Chain A
Amino acid sequence: MAPKAKSVKPPGSTIGAKPSKMKGRPKIRDDDDMTEIGDLGDDSYVHGKTLVKPDDQLDLTEVELKEEFTRILTANNPHAPQNIVRFNFKERTYKQTSSVEQIAIHFALDGNMLHKDSDEARRQRAKAGMGESKSEAALSEAGEEEGGEGEDGEKEEVVEAPPPKKESLRNQFNFSERASQTFNNPYRERGTATEPPPRANFSSTANQWEIYDAYYEDLQKQEKAKDKTKQIPTYRKEDDKTKKKLVAMETASDDISRVTRAAKIVERMVNQNTFDDIAQDFSYFEDASDEFRDQEGTLLPLWKFSFDKAKRLAVTSICWNPKYVDMFVVGHGSYDFTKQGRGMLLFYTLKNPSHPEYIYSTESGVMCLDIHPIYQYLVCVGFYDGSVGVFNTQEKRPGPVYKSTAKSGKHTDPVWQVKWQKDDLDNNLNLYSVSSDGRVVSWTLVKDELIYADVIKLTVDDLPTEGPDGTQLQLLGCGTSFDFHKKIDYLFLVGTEEGKIHKCSKAYSSQFLDTIDAHHMAVDAVRWNPFHPDIFISCSADWTVKIWDHNYGNQAMFTFDLNSAVGDVAWAPFSSTVFAAVTADGKVHVFDLNINKYEALCEQSVVQKKKTKLTHIEFNPRHMIICVGDERGYVTSLKLSPNLRKVPKKKKGEENVGIDHEIEIAKLDKILSLVREPDN
């Protein structure tokens, strides 16, 4: 082949001087990278070919043109140095390196394949977990076909590892993962500021009592809720009304009025301080001189009660409260026929000697009173004008709750004594009254009114006497006192102005059971003995005090002359043989029949002015004190000295039992028997 210089042939160019010949020959050159285009339309392709000769091309002769040049391809790196010289320290000369590396790195790329047993691979496997193991399982399955025993062991290992996750097995051959990144929205911070919630400091203590209080309130609420649910249908309207009332009252009432209770307590405390010595005496003082005086005793004056508005009124009656033994009621009025005015009813307590607890003012003088044994807030009162009233201290009324009027059978003369009786069959309260008009009347409290019933009329003689006109008149005596038997319900005694004592029964309204000519003057008081069922005592303005046995009505068992009109007499509640009497000369006489049958153990003047008459006397049910009222409106309390209150000694085991009634009765019987024998 003709040597051809490798030169660039522009398309369409021909070489040599034979351009025209070039046209028609299809050139098939294997070493030419021109494609065989000449097969297809030669004419069209060769059309534009012309030979262009550059100016600086070598002009060679034909011979020179035909010269053959050999070219050799080697694998040598043309850029590698051919002679590298290194200093050899052993021979101490420069030596040429025999062979030089001929590797030329055209491109380097780090791969990411790891051997599966290498450390890194194991680490990654541990992280990837199941997926890896599964793929390895797949691998090992594939490897089984090739018959790798080592891989069997691996497979077993892989299978034993517990894979909790189940990833989908990736196809080894046709697996493609596609991931795309979503657009991440830019973050923005947004904040608002609110008003801080209102704060308040709270502190409390959790004591046992606070817990108790909380539980108690809860209980109360529950109970109220229960009550409300029961009462809702009928009481709704009423509740509303009462609620409205309550609200109005709470806002209208003064702050001060809520301190009532505390004020009361403080007043008593202040009084206790002021009267400290008296209070101490009351509790602890015992007259030591009594040990030396065998048959004498003394009365120690304690508090003195008086009220400004009652100073001109005489004490007409005293009654101790049976339940709250420090309280007593005093009735004020006037015994003087000419000086009749208003009256007062005062409730005192020993704890506050300077001011009464309750004050009631009445139009007419109070002559007598009695406290109900069960309902201690009910007090029945007999007035000088003959009417009977009942006061209720629980209600805030200024006057009596019930009052008898002229139409409802009130007495025509002053009522001298009133007494509560047991409730009747209908559970209505009832009381008895005796008056100078000669009637003993029983009053029943029915709803709002007092209904009266004459029990007995105190007739003087059995036969009616003749009046001035010839008509028959029944003369009535004037009752001045009465007393009901403690045990026998229907039996009672009435003392009259004529000096007679009638023994009556509630059952018989026309006849007396018995009549005793007791005194020469009006019988001021008659009282049954609290222990002995047969004995009673009476006193009169004829200066005498007499003790009777109602079985032997003709003669008194004991008679005592006190040198002055006796205003009142009372038995002691702690002994059947002790009694006390007050006289018009201002003296108190205390007797103990057990010690001295003829004389008083104590005769003591308790008022400052000798002319003051003592009008009433009462023993306190529990404490060893007596209350004495006089005609000036003062009430004096006195303590009995030990000699005056001797009680039979109790056996060691029975000290707390209380008063033994039988012993008391026996004691009195013994004394009476001594008296009776000469009678027989």
Chain B
Amino acid sequence: MNPFSSGTCLRDMIRAIRACKTAAEERAVVRKECAAIRASINEDDQDYRHRNLAKLMFIQMLGYPTHFGQMECLKLIASAGFPEKRIGYLGLMLLLDEREEVLMLVTNSLKQDLNHSNQYIVGLALCALGNICSAEMARDLAPEVERLLQFRDPNIRKKAALCSIRIIKKVPALAENFINCAASLLKEKHHGVLITGVQLCADLCKVSSEALEYFRKKCTEGLVRTLRDIVNSPYSPEYDISGVTDPYLHIRLLKLLRILGQGDADASDRMTDILAQVATKTESNKNAGNAILYECVETIMSIEDDGGLRVLAINILGKFLSNRDNNIRYVALNMLMRATTLGAQAVQRHRATILDCVKDSDASIRKRALDLLYLLVNDNNVKPLIKELIEYLEVSDQEFKGDLTAKICSLVEKFSSEKIWYIDQMLKVLSEAGNFVKDEVWHALIVVISNASDLHGYTVRALYRAFLTSTEQETLVRVAVWCIGEYGDMLVNNVGMLDIEDPITVTECDAVDAVEVAIKRHTSDLTTKAMALIALLKLSSRFPSYSERIKGIIVQNKGNVVLELQQRSIEFNRILQKHPKFRSALVERMPVLDEATFSGRRAGSLPTAISTSSGAPSNLPNGIAKPATAPIPDLLDLSSDDVPAPSFSGGDFLQDLLGVDLSPTPAPSGADMPPKASTDVLLDLLSIGMPLPVQTGLSASDILSSSQDDKAPFVNFNGLASLSSLSANATSPANAAPMMDLLDGRGPGPQKSEENDQAYPSLVAYESSSLRVMFNFSKQRGSPQTTLIQATFTNLSSNVYNDFLFQAAVPKFLQLHLDPASSNTLPASGDGSITQNLKVTNSQHGKKSLVMRVRIAYKTNNKDVLEERQINNFPQNL
């Protein structure tokens, strides 16, 4: 007989699988077996049903799909005999989980088995129910389980108790039905029932405050007595584990007492004696005893207590901490962490030991210790601790560095009383583990540096030194490059020398070299390279004699495959060549970055959102802080007259121009988009599927390009616009026009978008020589996500439009509903209009702005006309 046919028994199949040398062989055997089992299932072969299921369980354990065997479980469960039911229930628990629809079919069999005369069958049903029941089954079968809590056999009672836990977890509303039965379980003598009963009470307390009150009043006394009995019980071989009688029961009782004592002084008071007894009398040389002590300490920490017991508890933890067993040290650290919230002072005593644990060879212990140490740092001990941690950073494992770096950075920031200390520590971290430093951390560092005007020289020199020694740390390179760009002159002239500094001679050439190294380093990523480019631009003005060389480096990037770099180098080259007058003003040192704004933005937990278009007003302070000394904001401060709070603020622009916030994810910042847009995203109907970032250079440039005959200066404008991540609202031509003025010396007449008294200004969504589309916006009260748009179409030509049809499409995050139009004939020469209502629901309200692609078709002079347009200058927050 073929050894792999359905005739093989379980043992043979396991042997065959074990004999497989390769995964492919194993798959082949399993496939054959599965085929045989399927065939057998199809024949409805009763004799082999349990064997098939046993095989399937083994196959499932190996990770193969076995769903076709699920119905077999149900059939076996429905059969009368105990052996069939036993394997059927086992299969049910292994092959199914609570989310399978099939499971509902078993409810009836379960109900019958819960009422079966054979207690072992009742046990099987309870076990299955407890392990995999769903909320519906819990509701259906709760009465049966409740009744079984009073079954004559203790082994059924204990199973019913645990099953009840599952039920109340699934359906907390059923909890109150179980309170009384659970309370009566607490009086049992059978350890199994007692353990499960106590556990049930604990879980009831978690889901029902009524249960908590009830047990607190009625059962605290009894539980204390039970614990006392078990603590003082004589040796009993059945339950003894290394000299302790039933540690499991100990632990569960302590756990329930903790729940009852928490927040209730009276209940806590009643248990203090026994807790003290457990804490002092339990043997601590074996794991079982330590497990009890651990639980006892946790209970002492959680209940309301005057402190006497807590000293005892902390002492136990101190002993744990010096234990040689790693497990014990681990739990001690775990527990001390919770203890810090009660009284950090007592924990502080163990600081040195904890610091040692941070350097342990065991990753689990290290992580715990670091978390704990993080909580222990305060103003008094921060300096030595940070020193230790940074020293350890040099030798720690790679995988631990990420965690450690994040913690150090966070601590240094939190406790930075002096800026110089903060900068020093951060520089050390950057040089040791710069690659693990998160973006917002080095952004924050730059903000601090920019604010510490007396330390600029010191910082740039220190960074230069660090840069020379460790160039492979990305974030160090970035910060260094930024500082050299900003304060390059201070680096060379040794401005602001501090006493503690060693003198250093850096020539202008060295400074340019450093930035060149950064840009040419092949490991540098886009952000670093872009920052280096900007630094070079700045240095060209700081060191005019090196201007030519810098231009050479910049020009090398003109052919860069990364669009961003290519574009910037072309723009910068242009600035160097064509606008020497502007250059020095353009690249002046950045105005002091506003710390409050920065931290406010960080609190928004959106570090990359810095360069997005949202939050316009909060960006303003950056530039406004010193408008007089910041020529760029002045030049570009286009918020002339009546433009309603454009997100385009001078500060924002400046910041972006200098690349502080250049985020490699271009998503919302139109930085990468406009060039693409100007090619032809517009007509690419397919691209509507992906949420296009709202860009702005786009529509502005479109409008402008139509009124511009000379394209050359326009390139410049477009470049700058994209560079500055001009965003949504900056679209109105009124904004763009003066900029044209500046760079070009002439410009089109001011075009102003129409203003409106409404909450949302109406929008000329589309205008051509023949047609104008106006959008009026309104919101329904109470649904900020939904915007009602009334579109008004006006015919600007002298011919009547027939069969007028307006269509619109939106990306996935929007939902669009179009009402029928008021008419399909549009009279000529603006002599009447068509209106149509649209309803747009923005599922990303507040995050993304509306964007829409429209298509307008009509007939005029018997000719079909089709116009398409993408509209992305919607007002924000729609």
A and B associate in one complex:
no
